[in-house]
Structure 1
Amino acid sequence: MTKWRAPWLSRVGPTRLKMELKLSPDESDFQREIGKFVDRAFPIAIRERPSAADEAYWHRAVANEGWTAVEWPVEFGGPGWNPIQIYLWYRVILQANCPVADYCGLQLVGPLLQRFGGRSDTSQHLEGIRKHTHVWGNAVFFDASATVLATGAGENFLLHGETPCFSTSVKFDRALVLAKTHNAYSLFLVDLNLAGIALTQTKSAPDIFSLAFDQVQIEALGLVGEIDKGIDHLIYLVTSFESIAIVVHLQVALSNLRRLTALKGMEASMEKRLADLEIELKALEATGLRSILSAGREKLPIVSIKGRSLAGRIRDSFIDVLGYYSLPYETGVEGSNEPVLTSPDFQPNFRQLEYLPGCPQDFRQDLVAKTLLGL
């Protein structure tokens, strides 16, 4: 049960908005059990800079417990947790800096297949997501940079064009693609091992890729839902599914920012900015909990949109505090005998801001604008 406390107001200095989440004894026990599991599967000694093997072990351990898809219904492999348990799960694993999940698979592909199905074996795709045997990329970009065309009908489609693609892993082998078909858009499940597909990492960010198709033949089994209904399917998704995970990502990032500010002796210059961020994040937390508790009600993706806006402001604050230590890549000049500028001690601070769940931000904002305008 969530209980609000009115903050003490002061004429000097910023005020703090306090919210306490009162846990029942069962919920406290649940949180302790999750903490014990995390300590076993992802020990403290490896949390700062985990290796690829450490991350793979974590994903296997979570899958073995049946906890990969904590927000899925039981009939599709979810653990049957209530919203508070889901919130506690995210809070514990993100505070421990555990590897991020495959958000495209869990929060885009999975829910879409559960609602609309596909011509292919839906259960096989869902099992691959739960067991982390397949990792998905998100190529659902509804803008001028996405020019993928799907021609044909019946048994096969041909994909041609190029689109940005986002993924939480550089080793993803599947992609959810929004392509132009006939007079509208359709969604396709694409195996990236097919001939004619070129995947290259962009220079702008380590998680954004360029996905190019050169007359790639896709079986009609890869179509999600109905032809020409891709936008309608995405609208259903973003108006019926909101994840509290984005709020927990920001809570952990803001906590890291406050700790780093104290470490650098910048409390005085950053206090007002931190207080403003904390107040807005507390309000977003309450909104997020209300949102996931209001099952069955259509809602706009306000939590995701506001959360991404806050993420940008927190990231900017990290850059202001870290200066040149906020450089994203730990690479040096060939032949140089000087150390690189990035600091291993500071890099985990950005981890909670790298992979935020949900659809592309522009798509969500466009949906909200059209809905409010009645278009």
Structure 2
Amino acid sequence: MDMDLSDDELAFREEVRAFLAEHLPERLREGARNTPSVFVEPEIGDEWHRILNARGWAAYHWPVEHGGTGWSPVKRYIFEKELALADAPALSVLGLKLVGPVICHYGTPEQQARFLPGIRDASEKWCQGYSEPGAGSDLASLKTRAVREGDRYILHGTKIWTTHAHYADWMFCLARTDPEAKPQAGISFLLVPMKQPGISIRPIVTHAGDHEVNQVFLDGAVTDATNLVGREGQGWEIAKFLLENERGGSCAAPRLLADIAGLRRLAEAEPSGVNGALGHQPDWADRLARLELEALALETTELRILAELARGRRPGPQTSLTKLLAANLRQRIDEAAIDLFGPLGLQLPAERPLYGNAAPEPVGSRAAQLAMPTYLNGRAWTIFGGTNEVQKGIIAKQVLGL
């Protein structure tokens, strides 16, 4: 976005750039560049998380009293943009951007003291127990039960598409505590330890070849009653708060713009098959320009949402708009990469990770090798965090008043 930055903001940008130049190792940059999925491997993600935490920047969007930075929306935007431009590994959203803000807002002082430090320093990992085999985008119809027995809850049910459950120490889980109440009113938000006999995990390997998601079975899983966040029956309200943060708690546009710029550079070296480089062909230039303009428009909307957050307001239903736009842009950028490399972009290596000494040899180039797994992994963008259809329904009802 072209905007005038204040002297303080320009100085902050230089501080971030200097920090990245000194503290972001090339092997982590290389790992992030060659990761086709939304979630990076913990071996590089956790290391980068700890480097940022040592600087006090891991939980940069949290309230200051809980270890946040107190940055303005513009500074948060600058930080995220510089990370994207530097090819920094993505931080796992599950703890930092999803359950962390929930605990900051709804948690008791005891819950905040117990859980927030482990999220900030990456010593405890989290997964999200929302979707079920019969309740994906329609969370109100979830079946997982949590029954209070004395000072603990006993859980029975199944969660699916549970990202990084195989790494997680804790799950933040929606469960039905009152089966007699109307669907939304009977749901509660519980923190559940993963390392216990009542929990089993079945891996789900995607068409892209990635093991990110799992099915989790809760067969008499136990959690203390002190791990109930908010009140019984308040889970639906907390779930909406969390999803607003997931959809609009940070900026997707800087990463999208960086990827478009990367495609433009790659196209300068790819032959068009007609005359010269593909990047010189009018149709290709027009395609990238349209993507870039849409990403810049998205960036403006995201900055407006960050400004609302800085004023203490909830991000609200406009986050559904940014989620919808970002998801569709992500997939169109991935499609452009497939078209850029032609037949070389169709290779689909089964090995992971695609960086380091053990990475498979690419056909043509590493960028070409990444095109197909990135495209296939990116099909999930229009599903996770609420499907495109759900976002359109929210926009129609809550924004347009239809």
For 1:278-297, list aligned pairs within 5 A.
278-294=292-308, 295-297=311-313
Query: Is structure 2 residue 260 aligned with structure 1 residue 254?
Result: yes
1:3 maps to what in 2? none
- Output the TM-score relative to the length of structure 1: 0.81
Matching residue of 2:145: 150
Correspondence list, 1:51-200, <5 A: 55-118=45-108, 121-141=111-131, 144-145=134-135, 148-153=143-148, 154-167=150-163, 171-182=167-178, 183=181, 184-200=186-202
Identify the structure with the greater helix proportion: 2
Q: Distance in 1 between matches of 2:158 and 2:165?
A: 20
Report the counterpart of residue 287 of structure 2 in structure 1.
273
Match of 1:321 in 2: 340
Amino acid of the structure 1 residue aligned with 2:144:
L
The letter for the 1-side match of 2:345 is Y
| Offset of residue 292 of structure 1 | 0.9
Checking the alignment, whether the CA contact within 8 Å between 1:168 and 1:207 is kept in structure 2 is yes
Give the SS at the match of 1:263.
Answer: coil
Shift of 1:151: 3.1
Question: What CA distance in whole angstroms lies between the structure 2 residues aligned with 1:171 and 1:231?
Answer: 26
TM-score calculated relative to the size of structure 2: 0.76
SS at match of 2:258: helix
Question: Do the aligned partners of 1:160 and 1:213 also contact (CA within 8 Å) in 2?
Answer: yes
> Which structure 2 residues correspond to residues 278-357 of structure 1 after superposition, within 5 A?
278-294=292-308, 295-298=311-314, 299-300=316-317, 301=319, 302-323=321-342, 324-325=344-345, 327=347, 329-331=349-351, 343-346=365-368, 350=374
Q: Counterpart amino acid of 1:77?
A: G
Q: What SS is found at the alignment partner of 1:68?
A: coil
Tell whether 2:213 aligns with 1:231. no
Are the aligned partners of 1:330 and 1:341 in contact in 2 as well (CA < 8 Å)?
A: no
Task: Give 1:373 shift.
Answer: 8.2
> Deviations for 1:1-23, whole angstroms, at most 9, x for unmatched residues?
xxxxxxxxxxxxxxxxxx41222
CA contact (8 A) 1:100 1:168 kept: no
The number of residue pairs the alignment matches comes to 351
Query: In 2, distance between residues paired with 1:169 and 1:61?
Result: 24
Distance in 2 (alpha carbons) for counterparts of 1:355 and 1:26: 39
> 1:347 and 1:169 mapped to 2: Cα distance?
27
What one-letter code is carried by the residue in structure 2 that aligns with 1:361? G
**Displacement of 1:284:** 0.9
2:118 maps to a residue whose letter is: G
Q: SS at 2:268's partner residue?
A: helix
Q: Tell me how far 1:133 sits from its aligned partner.
A: 0.9
**Is 208-217 or 116-125 further displaced after alignment?**
116-125
Whole-Å separation in 1 of the counterparts to 2:370 and 2:165: 16
Q: Which residue of 2 aligns with 1:25?
A: 7
CA contact 2:128–2:171 (8 Å) conserved in 1? yes
What is the alpha-carbon distance in structure 2 between the residues aligned to residue 293 and residue 284 of structure 1?
A: 14
Aligned-residue Cα RMSD (Å) equals 3.4
The CA distance in 2 between the partners of 1:213 and 1:280, in whole Å, is 43
Q: Secondary structure at the match of 1:157?
A: strand
Does the 8 Å CA contact 1:148/1:159 hold for their aligned counterparts?
no
- 1:40 and 2:44 are equivalent in the alignment: no
Among 213, 220, 223, the alignment partner of 1:218 is: 223
Segment of structure 1 superposing worse, 251-260 or 186-195: 251-260
Please give the secondary structure, in 2, of the residue aligned with 1:70: coil
The 3-state SS of whatever aligns with 1:47 is helix
**Which string of whole-angstrom CA distances, capped at 9 and with x for unpartnered residues, describes residues 325-368 of structure 1?**
35554439xxxxx9565953456775996998x97123655544
CA distance in structure 2 between the partners assigned to 1:322 and 1:30 by the alignment: 38
Give the whole-Å Cα distance in 1 for the aligned partners of 2:23 and 2:223.
39
CA deviation map 1:30-59 (0-9, x unaligned): 112211211222233552137965544322
Task: Mark the runs of 5 or more structure 2 residues left unpaired by the alignment.
Answer: 33-40, 137-141, 271-276, 353-359
